[in-house]
Amino acid sequence: MEQGTGKYITGGVYVITTSSGGIINGQAASWVTRISQEPFWVAVALYERNYTHDLLLESDIFAINVLKEGQQEIARHFGKQSGRKVDKFAGIKFHKAKTGAPILDDCLAYLDCEVIFSRKFGDHTLFIGEIVDEGVLNEGKPLVYRHEDYF
Amino acid sequence: MEQGTGKYITGGVYVITTSSGGIINGQAASWVTRISQEPFWVAVALYERNYTHDLLLESDIFAINVLKEGQQEIARHFGKQSGRKVDKFAGIKFHKAKTGAPILDDCLAYLDCEVIFSRKFGDHTLFIGEIVDEGVLNEGKPLVYRHEDYF
């Protein structure tokens, strides 16, 4: 299968953050969707080799930081390096959400989540989150993922 | 929870089709994401009261028809009425995919899927599909969901 149609599935651009045992980390991600209106639940798929993935498996909490148009550089910052080697939050303004996950002060909006279900599907783990807090922090339009912005 | 942030989760616009016991149907949907690169798997959340949802639970096959910019009217056609009352495919050009699900000839691209996992989450069922066939049928850019196009 060539997966030529994969690029036709539209996604936003997010920084998925978590906090586990005093360690905070975050990664760029685009494979995110709503899955239930009532209760308000979302699904996030994270690559199995990412550090955020491993921390999230431990903590069972995460925040979706929604990036806005023009914030591709923040996505690259959180997407092109590993939290195993660098502190991605050095120089980044953030605060802690209700769950303890870090929220980027400059993001458009955030959804703070507790994991209610997770399961490995192929090379990713799907995390289903119940939204326990949310907020809109800035004005703008959500950034839509385009492959050419990052590769 | 006000779900004020729900609109900040970006999705495309799709017609999810299926075929069960000789009956074909389809519905507009936006809650779709990729979840695994290898194998190539996708996730689709469908509202539990929709006819397509019920048929899909029986058939365990579906196709994602990706709509392109300007095709909001097709989304309204498949989203604003029920296949329990009308034949949504009357007057629509389509052909059958490998699984038997109908593919709209005018759509941008399609992903033909077999269900490998399904589970109810809140008021929707999440269907995980393995892509068994795919194709790009027309030129254009994927339509991005905007609430104001439909309500």
Identity of the residue numbered B13: V
Range of A31's domain?
Answer: 12-138
Give the separation between CA A44 and CA B116, rounded to whole angstroms. Answer: 18
Cβ distance A41 to B121 less than 8 Å, yes or no, reads yes
Residue A145 domain-assigned (yes or no): no
Residue B96's closest CA among B43, B15, B24? B24
Provide the strand spans (E) within chain A: 14-20, 23-29, 32-36, 41-47, 61-66, 94-96, 102-104, 109-121, 124-136
Residue B6 domain-assigned (yes or no): no
Cβ distance A2 to B134 less than 8 Å, yes or no, reads yes
Mind listing the pLDDT tens digit for each residue in B101-112?
999 999 999 999
- pLDDT of B75 reads 98
Cβ distance A117 to B122 less than 8 Å, yes or no, reads no
CATH number at residue B28: 2.30.110.10
- Only one residue has tokens 């056609």, namely B77
- pLDDT of B3 reads 65
Q: Which residue of B has its CA nearest to A3?
A: B40
Residue A119 domain-assigned (yes or no): yes
Q: State how far the alpha carbon of A70 is from the alpha carbons of A14, A91, A107, A137, B147, in Å.
A: 13, 19, 11, 16, 22
User: Do residues A10 and A143 touch, judged by C-beta distance below 8 A?
Assistant: no
Return the ∠ at Cα B123 (arms to B40 and A43), rounded to 5°: 35
Residue A127 domain-assigned (yes or no): yes
- pLDDT of B96 reads 97
When pLDDT is cut at 50, 70 and 90, the band that residue B138 belongs to is very high
Residue A80's closest CA among A70, A72, A91? A72
3-state secondary structure chain B: CCCCCHHHCCEECEEEEEEECCEEEEEEECCEEEEECCCCEEEEEEECCCHHHHHHHHHCEEEEEECECCCHHHHHHHHCCCCCCCCCCCCCCEEECCCCCEEECCCCEEEEEEEEEEEEECCEEEEEEEEEEEEECCCCCECECCHHHCC
Residue B136's closest CA among B61, B74, B64? B64
Q: Which residue of B has its CA nearest to A13?
A: B10
Residue A23 domain-assigned (yes or no): yes
Residue B50 domain-assigned (yes or no): yes
Structure token digits, residue A65:
């930081």
- pLDDT of B2 reads 53
B4 or A45, which is more confident? Answer: A45
Beta-bridge partner residues of B124: B47, B121
- Regions of chain A with pLDDT less than 50: 1
A136 contacts in B (CB within 8 Å)? 4-5, 8
- pLDDT of B18 reads 98
Q: Which of A9, A37, A111 sits opposite B32 (nearest CB)?
A: A9
Whether the pTM exceeds 0.90: the reply is yes
Looking at the structure of chain B, the number of domains it has is 1
- pLDDT of A4 reads 87
Residue A97 domain-assigned (yes or no): yes
Read off the pLDDT of each residue in B29-45 and give the average, rounded to a whole number.
98
- pLDDT of A2 reads 53
Question: Is A148 an 8 Å CB contact of chain B?
Answer: no
Q: What is the DSSP secondary structure assignment for residue A80, as one 8-state letter?
A: S
Residue A3 domain-assigned (yes or no): no
Question: Is B135 an 8 Å CB contact of chain A?
Answer: yes
Q: Which of B10, B40, B111 sits opposite A12 (nearest CB)?
A: B10
The upper half-sphere exposure of residue B8, i.e. CA atoms within 13 Å in the direction of its Cβ, equals: 25
Interface test with A, best of B1, B2, B3, B5 (most A CBs within 10 A): B5
Give the separation between CA B83 and CA B15, rounded to whole angstroms. Answer: 13
Structure token digits, residue A129:
């989150």
Q: What is the DSSP secondary structure assignment for residue A68, as one 8-state letter?
A: B
Mind listing the pLDDT tens digit for each residue in B70-89?
999 999 999 999 999 999 99
When pLDDT is cut at 50, 70 and 90, the band that residue B4 belongs to is confident
Give the separation between CA A73 and CA B58, rounded to whole angstroms. Answer: 45
